[in-house]
Amino acid sequence: MLNISQNKVNDDIVRENYSSLRTVESKRSGRVFLRLMISLFIVVLVCVFLPWTQNIRSGGNVTALNPSQRPQTINSVIAGRIEKWYVQEGDFVKRGDTILFISEVKDKFFDPNLLSRTEQQLKSKEMSASSYMQKVKALDNQIDALISTSSLKLKQARNKLAQARLKVISDSMGFEAAKTNVSIAKEQLNRWQKLYNQGLKSLTDLEVKKLKYQETTAYLISAENKLLGSRNELINAKVEIVSVRAQYNDDIAKAESDKYSAFSGLYDAEAQVTKLQSEFTSFEIRNGLYFIRAPQDGYITKAIQSGIGETIKEGAQIISIMPAQYDLAVEMYVRPIDLPLVHKGEKVRIQFDGWPAIVFSGWPNTSYGTYGGTVFAIDNFISDNGKYRVLVAPDTSDHKWPTGIRVGAGTNNMVLLKDVPIWYELWRQINGFPPDYYLPKNTNATTKKK
């Protein structure tokens, strides 16, 4: 009471009638309150020096650790029209089970005998290519025969040339002998003429010598004519060699030209065969794509396309499936300012939506209902929400995650960082500073090792 008013009521109050007033005004209650405040201050002072685990809190959701185990949509590779459904939402399917059947909508593939006719075309082209190959082999044999024949013909012509040369030499020697005989006959005729003029020889003997001279002269002319004929045969033998070589070269060149033409036809036929093989394989695969099958074991969750007779485009989403076997993980998002503080292998405490928990963020060991995890992967590129995605895998050294968790469930996550006193954490929170940056021991060891 301030006792400002001049009208005091202290004397009018009977304190014995008010036990609470007596207790407050007594000196003992003041001492108790002072002791209580001092005890509270000591407790607070002791508490601010207690250890506190810094953490980064972030929301997230449950996902699958392996990308192949996450929910996926089945797309249609080709355009078509839905003809029949074999499943309904909620069904369990095994890998390879037929989900639905679609029919063709492109006029290029309307022919029901398209595969058999394409196969016939393929066989015809293969036979055409085989015929070209046989023609090439026949031309090779023809070229080999021409080369062998030309070699024999050239040998024959060279032998004939050698004979002509020897004949020329023989005729040349006969011609020289005839000239010698003519010279001798002429000398004898001259001597016999002198002897006849002197009366030592008769006219008959002189006429015999004249006849002998005429005979040798005629033989000389015959030998010269024979020599000229043999020389002409030598020239003809040389011409024949050139003619044989030119003739067979021309025949071989023509055969090689036909061979290369056959090769050209062969290569063109092989190209068409390859093209038809590719088309046949594509048609065969396309026939198998009319049946949409399950890529893995899982549950049908939602039919995106529905009805009978509905037309779908290439790559259109048809149905979504959830794999039956999956390894759970949690994807959480952290702010860019907190990203340098997160490292692979760090501990994370996770609270799943729908699971009761009592959480003490600074004392994770005293929390109840949270489950352990470790940082498995950190994205290097920022997400659309302006944060970085961190993938958390279950901690094998902690309690197993609840079996009732499903992919897509929400989570509340705490990445456990450095242990600091509570007073330091309060000071950091008041000033808005981020948690302390530090490197785990295993990271330091790895860095030094590198």
pLDDT on residue 447? 41
Q: Which of 294, 356, 287, 337 is nearest to 319 (CA)?
A: 294
Dihedral angle of Cα 33, 38, 43, 48, to the nearest 10 degrees:
130
**Contact (Cβ atoms closer than 8 angstroms) between residue 291 and residue 82:** no
Query: 448: pLDDT confidence band, cut at 50, 70 and 90?
Result: very low
- Residue 218's contacts (CB-CB under 8 Å, 6 or more residues apart) are none
Whole-number mean pLDDT of the chain?
A: 81
What pLDDT sits at residue 92? 92
Residues 95-106: what's their mean pLDDT?
89
Residue-range domain boundaries for the chain: 1-47, 52-69+326-449, 72-104+290-322, 114-288
In the structure, what pLDDT confidence band is assigned to residue 425 with cuts at 50, 70 and 90? low
Structure tokens at 364: 């994770």
Residue 331 has a pLDDT of 92
Nearest CA to 325 among 74, 62, 65, 98? 65
pLDDT for the residue numbered 423: 75
Q: Which CATH architecture has domain 72-104+290-322?
A: Beta Barrel (2.40)
Superfamily of domain 52-69+326-449: Efflux pump adaptor protein, beta barrel domain (2.40.30.170)
The residue ranking higher by pLDDT, 414 or 124, is 124
Is the pLDDT at 78 greater than 80? The verdict is yes
pLDDT band at 446 (very low <50, low <70, confident <90, very high): very low
Q: Choose the most confident range, by mean pLDDT, from 9-18, 28-37, 429-438.
A: 28-37
Of 398, 394, 322, 428, whose CA–CA distance to 92 is shortest? 322
Which residues are CB-contacts of 367 (< 8 A; sequence separation ≥ 6)?
349, 357, 358, 359, 360
Does CATH place domain 114-288 in 3.30.450.20? no
The pLDDT of residue 26 is above 70: no
* Residue 304, pLDDT above cutoff 60: yes
Residue 101 has a pLDDT of 92
The 10s digit of each residue's pLDDT in 402-412 is 887 888 888 88
Adjacency order of strands within the sheet including 298-303: 72-75, 317-323, 298-303, 92-93
Specify the pLDDT at position 146. 86
- 408-418 residues labelled b (16+ CB within 10 A) or e (exposed): ebebbbbbbbe
Highest mean pLDDT among 221-225, 340-344, 416-420: 221-225
> Do 394 and 376 form a contact (C-beta atoms < 8 A)?
no
Stretch (H or E) spanning 79: none
Using the Cα atoms of residue 165, residue 171, residue 174 and residue 176 in order, give the sign of their dihedral: negative
pLDDT bracket for residue 434 (50, 70, 90): low
Query: Cα(113)–Cα(278) distance, rounded to whole angstroms?
Result: 17
Polymer length of the chain: 450
On whether the pTM is more than 0.85, the answer is no
HEC readout, 202-263? CHHHHHHHHHHHHHHHHHHHHHHHHHHHHHHHHHHHHHHHHHHHHHHHHHHHHHHHHHHHHH
Is residue 93 very low, low, confident or very high in pLDDT (cuts 50, 70, 90)?
A: very high
Place 418 in a pLDDT band, splitting at 50, 70 and 90: low
For 117, other C-beta atoms within 10 Å of its C-beta total: 12
